[in-house]
Amino acid sequence: MMKRYIGIAILSIGFIPAVAQQFKAEATLPLTDADGFYRVLITPEVAAYPNQTFSNVRLYDAQQKEVPYILEQEQPVYQKEQFREYTIVEKKQEPGCCTMLILENPEKAAINNINLLIRNAEVIKEATLSGSDDQKSWFVIKEKFTLQSIDNPNEAAAMKTVNFPLSNYTYYQLRINDSTQAPLNIIKAGYYNALTSIGAYTEVSPRSIATADSIKQKKTYIHVFFDTLRLLDKVELSLTGTPYFMRQVDVYERQARNTKKGVKDYYEFVTSFGISSAGAAIVHLPMVKSRELMLVVDNQDNPSLTVSSLKVHQLNRYLVAWLKKGEKYTLRFGNEQLAEPSYDLAFFKDSLSYQSTVLKVQNVRAIQEAGKKEESPTFFTDKRVIWVAIILVIGILGFMSVRLIRETNTQKKV
């Protein structure tokens, strides 16, 4: 008998809907002209919804099937090496003497290394490097150094680097002593140039900027307000005032925490940077997500400065996925219960070939707000029905408790 009551209670509870919105927002992708891997740009409008790791983002096709993707982001600042090959002006071998190689540096670039691609040879050679601007007068740069153990186990040639003091001659002459051995086979020569590149950013427009000076604290407070949560990765600040200045700036982000008295806002320190009259300062933020930034300029005993320019940027991040021509796709984000997805695509990240087109999301909308406006109450979402179900469950549980007590007392009397 008791099992029957419990079953009725469970069924009654089952009628109470667990109304919880899984995703906070969604957006659509533009139709593509061809099948292939595309990079979908996460715009500032979209970045307000995902978490810090972007694990609560999902991509769905027209049949509402999940589409695998990988997350890719620009590097704020990165270096890459570029091999620049020299023109071999002259290459000759003098029997019983040496091999002479003359390389041209037409741009007179300042260099401190020459890389030689040489066919494998187990030898030790003595060499001298000289420089000239007219191929007539030669000046020693590095003398009596050795080239040895030219052995690449994977290829038939090996790259050998000759380091030397920084110079900018138009021509370089390499003389290799071959008086007692056969000459080396030098295929090409050049140098590695380290290039510094800056990742792509998208500007995030503030809703407003307010400044205030505190004479007592000797500080200037700059508040940067946004219309909603924004993902912030870089700030560019330019100040004007006195002809020469050098100040320290602290950056804070506005956050909220739950307390016994309710939600309380506070400012959390992010980073510090210096700014001077020499020009604008650029500071990289550690992926801050906030509605407000506060920059505090320490004036010490100096007069306050004026903000002449302030820009905030979000580092470009992309979802890389295989999209079919003309098919509709939907991005949904903000489901805090989702764990990071596990897709096979992650194992082939370095092998992907992208379409040149970068897609921007369209029609970003908050799902919860749209539901409030468009959806009408149904039988199981009507608040009156929900309250009736709750009262029914309470009544059943109360009846069960009284019945259980009576049965227990009866058993004790027996």
DSSP-assigned states of every residue in 294-318: EEEEE-TTSPP-EEEEEEEEEE-EE
Per 3-state DSSP, what percentage of the chain is helix, strand, and coil (rounded to 5)? Answer: 15, 55, 30
CA 344 to chain centre: 21
Q: Does the global pTM surpass 0.85?
A: no
Sheet holding 362-366, edge to edge: 57-60, 330-333, 25-28, 362-366
With left for phi above 0 and alpha for psi between -120 and 50, is residue 281 left, alpha or beta? Answer: beta
Q: What is the pLDDT of residue 80?
A: 66
Above 90 in pLDDT, residue 187? no
Contacts of 214 (CB under 8 A, 6+ apart): 220, 221
Backbone φ and ψ of 355, nearest 5°: -70, 150
Backbone φ and ψ of 398, nearest 5°: -65, -45
Q: How many CB atoms lie within 10 A of CB 79?
A: 9
Which two tokens mark 15? 């009628």
Q: What is the pLDDT of residue 294?
A: 97
- Which superfamily, per CATH, for 81-197? Galactose-binding domain-like (2.60.120.260)
Above 80 in pLDDT, residue 289? yes
Q: Do residues 25 and 332 touch, judged by C-beta distance below 8 A? A: yes
Contacts of 41 (CB under 8 A, 6+ apart): 202, 316, 317, 318, 358, 359, 360, 361
Q: What is the pLDDT of residue 393?
A: 65
Q: How far apart are CA 154 and CA 189, in angstroms?
A: 20
Q: How far apart are CA 277 and CA 246, in angstroms?
A: 7
Q: Do residues 25 and 49 touch, judged by C-beta distance below 8 A? A: yes
Which two tokens mark 56? 């609560």
Higher local confidence (pLDDT), 93 or 208: 208
Q: What are the Cα distances from residue 355, in Å, to 20, 198, 287?
A: 38, 22, 28
Q: Per-residue pLDDT averaged across 359-370, rounded?
A: 80
Q: How far apart are CA 240 and CA 257, in angstroms?
A: 36
Q: What is the pLDDT of residue 28?
A: 94
Q: What is the pLDDT of residue 11?
A: 46
Tens of pLDDT, residue by residue over 308-323, are 999 999 999 999 999 9
Q: Where are the alpha helices (DSSP H) in 216-292?
A: none
Q: Do residues 149 and 122 touch, judged by C-beta distance below 8 A? A: yes
Q: How far apart are CA 77 and CA 196, in angstroms?
A: 7
Q: What would you report as the CA-atom Rg of the chain, rounded to the nearest whole angstrom? A: 35
Above 70 in pLDDT, residue 372? no
Above 60 in pLDDT, residue 381? no
Backbone φ and ψ of 173, nearest 5°: -115, 125
| Cα distance from N-terminal residue to C-terminal residue, the chain | 19
DSSP notation for 316-348: -EEEEEEE-TT---EEEE--TTPPPP--GGGGG
DSSP notation for 96-119: TTEEEEEEE-TT---EEEEEEEEE
Q: How far apart are CA 175 and CA 186, in angstroms?
A: 12
Above 80 in pLDDT, residue 375? no
| Reported confidence tier of residue 15, pLDDT bands at 50, 70, 90 | very low
Q: Which one-letter amino acid corresponds to residue 362? A: Q
| Reported confidence tier of residue 370, pLDDT bands at 50, 70, 90 | very low
Tens of pLDDT, residue by residue over 202-224, are 999 999 999 999 999 999 999 99
Q: What is the pLDDT of residue 16?
A: 42
Q: How many CB atoms lie within 10 A of CB 213?
A: 14
The fold of 204-315 is Jelly Rolls (2.60.120)
pLDDT mean across residues, the chain = 83
Above 70 in pLDDT, residue 324? yes
